[in-house]
Amino acid sequence: MSEPRILSICPAPAGLLAVYRFSDQDQEHREPVVAFGVVEDKSGGINIRYAAALVVDAECGSLEVADDAASFLRLEWAQATRNCQCSPT
């Protein structure tokens, strides 16, 4: 398979997390999903487009497809606490 290419993005809702398993332990690690993207993958001469959750790669700061990692388990919704100081409308 070729390297996926992100065609477009939109912000993800607050509280959406990608859950990964640590490779040498039975523990889980969570990373915030920052965006959703339309991703194109050219595999075997066929263009495949799909929607994907995107996370920030901590090492280089680029956007990565969350479920491309072998340790990816699931997406999880964690309701964000309301610490907003905005005026109610």
Instruction: Give the model's pLDDT for residue 40.
Output: 94
Q: Where are the domains of the chain?
A: 5-77
How many other C-beta atoms lie within 10 A of the C-beta of residue 23?
Answer: 7
- Give the residue carrying structure tokens 């290419």: 5
Instruction: Give the model's pLDDT for residue 45.
Output: 82
- Give the residue carrying structure tokens 């907003």: 84
For residue 89, what are the CA distances in angstroms to 22, 86?
43, 9
- Give the residue carrying structure tokens 């070729």: 2
Encode pLDDT of 34-89 as tens digits. Answer: 999 999 998 778 889 999 999 999 888 999 999 999 999 999 998 766 666 666 65
